[in-house]
Structure 1
Amino acid sequence: MSVDEERRQVELVVDRLAVEHAGVPRHTVEQIVHDVHAAFGVGVVRDFVPLLVERSAKRKIAALTSF
């Protein structure tokens, strides 16, 4: 996966999670997704990074809304 494709996929993750968690401000979703994505910056194999980012970000966002 190219760097540009990975970035595009991560932005799609933002879009999906923003819709799925409409009660959370979009900028919060973006921040969480981008923070999680940054944590995967050192990996060599990039093909599954967007999926891993989505799963991790989804858990973090769910934790925000589970009060």
Structure 2
Amino acid sequence: MSAVAEQTLLMEITGTLVQDFPGTTRVDIDAAVRRAYARFDASRIRDFVPLFVEKRARRDPRERCSAALV
């Protein structure tokens, strides 16, 4: 997967998460995606990185919501 294609998918993932988590700001969603993406910097096989990033970034806003409830 090319770096451009990967970045395009990350922007799409950010847009999707913004819609799925309306109570969370775009800045927070973008930060969650960047944190998740950073975990896979050293990955040699890049094909599934966007999928893993989305899965991990989806958890981030949920964890913030549950922490706020405690």
Interval of TM-score (by shorter of Structure 1 and Structure 2): over 0.9
Match of 2:16 in 1: 16
Tell me the distance in 2 between the aligned counterparts of 1:15 and 1:64: 19
TM-score after normalising by structure 1: 0.94
Larger radius of gyration: 2
Aligned to 2:45: 45
Aligned to 1:60: 60
TM-score, normalising length from structure 2?
0.91
Structure 2: unaligned runs, 5 residues or longer? none
CA distance in 1, matches of 2:61, 2:15: 13
Large movers: runs of 4+ above 4 Å: none
Higher relative contact order (CA 8 A, sep 6+): 1
Letter in 2 for 1:48: F
Identity of paired residues, percent?
A: 30
Q: How many residues align?
A: 67
RMSD: 0.8
**1:22-51 deviation digits (Å, cap 9, x = unpaired):** 100110000110111011100000000000
